Structure 1
Amino acid sequence: MSKLRAAVPLLAILPLLTACGSRITVQVTADEAASEPVDDLEVQFIPFDRDSLFAVITGQAATPEPSIPADLEQASLTEQDLRDRWSTAESSWNNVRDSMRAITTQLDNLDDRSREYRELFDRFGDLEDRERALDRQRQAAFDEFNEMQLATQQRVDSICIVIDSWEEAAFAGYGDLESDLLTALGREVLADTTDADGVAWASASGGPWWVHARVNTAGGELYWNVMVDEASSDTLRLEPGNADLRQGVRQRC
C-alpha cells in the first residue's frame, strides 16, 4: 500500500450513505444574465467529496504547496482585465463592420438618386468614421494586453512548472486512493455530457453525491463541486452563482 493510501483514513472521507431516489439531473449555464446553456460539457457525479480529499492530501504532502508571488498574481489578474477590454473593443468593431456590410448590400439594390439611398449613404459615412475610431481603440487595447502578457508569461510558465512538479509528487497515489474509496462505498464515479439545453443526468441511487464540472469563461474558470443529499425530481442548476470563480495564475497552469 502506498504511503498516501496509508496516511488518509477512509472513514474520514466516506459520506454517510442514504437510500433514496435514482436520478440526478443538472443544467449548466455559464452566463447568469443571459442564462445561456453550456453544451458538450462533461459533468461528473462523485460519491464522495473530492475537494475534501484533495485538502487532506495537500495537508499531508511531504513539502508545502508552492505559493504564487502576490505581484505575479496581481499581474495575471490585470492581464485578464486587459484581455477583456481588448475582447470588448474587438466585438464593438466587428459589430460596426457588420452594419456597414449590411448597408452596402442595401445600397447595391437601391437607385442612387433615391432619398433612401442618400440617407443610407450618409449613415454609412457615419459608421465609417466610427469604424476607424474603434479600430484604433481595439489595436491600442491589444497592444496593452500583449505588452502585459509578454512581461508576465515567462514567470507564469516558471511557477506553473513548479506547481505541476509538486502536484505530481503529492498526488502520486491518488488513483489508488480513489479506487479504495469507491470500493468501500460500493459505487463508481458517473459521468454524462450536457446536451444542447445544457442538461446532463445520471442514475445515482442514494446519497450524498457531489456534482462536479468546470468550464472556462471570459472572466475565469467556473468550478462546481455541489453536494446533492439525495436524488430528486428537481433539476440542479449549475450557474455562476453556485460556482467558484478561479482566476489568475492557477487558472493558466
Structure 2
Amino acid sequence: MSKLRVAIPLLAILPLLAACGSRITVQVTEDAAGAEPVNDLEVQFIPFDRDSLFAVIIAGAATPEPEIPADLEQASVDERELRDAWSAAESSWNNVRDSMRSITTELDNLDDRSREYRERFDLFNDLEDRERALDRQRQAAFDEFNEMQLATQQRVDSICIVIDSWEEAAFAGYGEVEDDLLTALGQEVMADTTDAAGVAWAPAAGGPWWVHARVNTAAGELYWNVMIEAALPDTLRLRPGNADLRQGVRQRC
C-alpha cells in the first residue's frame, strides 16, 4: 500500500503536544490485585495511537482482511475450555498427591501402634483411592483436549498462513509511515523492560502517550494500549481490568 493512500487519514491520529513532562512509570501484573508482577516484558511508550494507525492501514488495504471461519473460532473456544478442564483435573490430582506425601512424612515420625498413626494411615488409604480416581479423570481430560487440538491444528496453521501473507502485503509500507509520523511529531518510540517488580519507565516529554504491552496468559493475550498524559503523579498500573483480553484463532498465529 502506498504512503499516499494513508497520508490524509493519518492527520486524524496526530495528538496535540502538551507541556513537557518528566517520566512515565508503569507496573505490569497478571492479576487485578497486583500480586503477580510480569518481569522481563517490553513496554513501549508511543507518541501516537498505533491501533488507530493500524485501522487506517487495514481500511486502505488492497484486499479485505481475512476472516476466521465461525466454526473454527468455536472450535478454538472449545479447545481452550477442554485445556482448562484438563489443567483443573491436573491441579486436583497434584494436590491429593501432595497431601499423600505429607501424610507419609508424618507416618514416618509416628509410633505405628498409636491411635494417631492408625487415623493418619486410614486417611492415606482414602486419599490413595481418590488419587487413582483423579488420575483417571485427568488422563481422560487430557485425551479429550489433545484430540480436539489435533483435529483443529491443521486448519489453524492454514488460516495463519493466509493471515500472515495478507499482513505482509497490507503493512509493507508501515515502517515508512511510522517514520514520517514520528518526524511530524518530533518524537520517538521509547521502550523499557520490566524489572522483577514488573516496573518499567521512560523519560517521556510532551504528550499524550500510548503505553503498549502484551502478555500471553492461560485465558488469552492481555493487550494494553493505554493513553495517558506525559506527567503522572503515580505509577500507571497495567492490570487485566484495563487490558483487552484477546482470544481465538488469530491470537494463535
Q: Same fold (TM over 0.5)?
A: yes
| Letter in structure 2 aligned against 1:79 | E
CA–CA distance in 2 between the matches of 1:102 and 1:192?
Answer: 44
2:23 paired with 1:23: yes
2:171 paired with 1:171: yes
Question: Match for residue 40 of structure 2?
Answer: 40
2:109 paired with 1:131: no
Contact kept, 8 Å, 1:213 with 1:225, in 2: the verdict is: yes
CA-to-partner distance for each residue in 1:13-61, whole Å, 9 max, x for gaps? Answer: 3211111321111111212267422222111111110000000000000
| Letter in structure 1 aligned against 2:221 | E
Cα offset for 1:201? 1.2
2:49 paired with 1:49: yes
Cα offset for 1:108? 1.7
CA–CA distance in 1 between the matches of 2:117 and 2:188?
Answer: 67
Summarize the alignment of residues 144-223 of structure 1 with structure 2, pairs less than 5 Å apart: 144-223=144-223
Contact kept, 8 Å, 1:24 with 1:233, in 2: the verdict is: no
| Letter in structure 2 aligned against 1:134 | L
CA-to-partner distance for each residue in 1:93-142, whole Å, 9 max, x for gaps? Answer: 11111111121122222221222222221121111111111111111111
Question: Match for residue 3 of structure 2?
Answer: 5
Question: Match for residue 67 of structure 2?
Answer: 67
Contact kept, 8 Å, 1:18 with 1:206, in 2: the verdict is: yes
CA–CA distance in 2 between the matches of 1:236 and 1:250?
Answer: 28
Task: Label 1:34 to 1:188 Cα distance change in 2 as closer, same or farther (>3 A).
Answer: closer
2:239 paired with 1:239: yes
Cα offset for 1:200? 1.3
SS at match of 2:66: coil
Contact kept, 8 Å, 1:26 with 1:200, in 2: the verdict is: yes
Gaps of 5+ in 2: none
SS at match of 1:39: coil
Cα offset for 1:231? 2.0
RMSD of Structure 2 on Structure 1 (CA): 1.4
CA–CA distance in 1 between the matches of 2:153 and 2:91?
Answer: 25
| Letter in structure 2 aligned against 1:193 | T
Gaps of 5+ in 1: none
| Letter in structure 1 aligned against 2:70 | A
User: Runs of at least 4 residues of structure 1 off by over 4 A?
Assistant: none
CA–CA distance in 2 between the matches of 1:99 and 1:26?
Answer: 40
Identity of aligned residues (%): 83
CA-to-partner distance for each residue in 1:147-189, whole Å, 9 max, x for gaps? Answer: 1111111111110000000000000111121111112211111
CA–CA distance in 2 between the matches of 1:4 and 1:26?
Answer: 36
Cα offset for 1:225? 0.4
Task: Label 1:247 to 1:37 Cα distance change in 2 as closer, same or farther (>3 A).
Answer: same
Cα offset for 1:75? 0.7
TM-score normalised per structure 1 = 0.95
2:120 paired with 1:120: yes
Report the count of equivalent residues: 251
Q: Larger deviation: 208-217 or 224-233?
A: 224-233
Cα offset for 1:244? 0.7
TM-score normalised per structure 2 = 0.95
2:91 paired with 1:110: no
Contact kept, 8 Å, 1:66 with 1:166, in 2: the verdict is: yes
CA–CA distance in 2 between the matches of 1:127 and 1:197?
Answer: 39
CA–CA distance in 1 between the matches of 2:236 and 2:178?
Answer: 25
Task: Label 1:127 to 1:33 Cα distance change in 2 as closer, same or farther (>3 A).
Answer: farther
CA-to-partner distance for each residue in 1:181-225, whole Å, 9 max, x for gaps? Answer: 112211111111112222111111121000000001111111000
CA–CA distance in 2 between the matches of 1:50 and 1:196?
Answer: 27
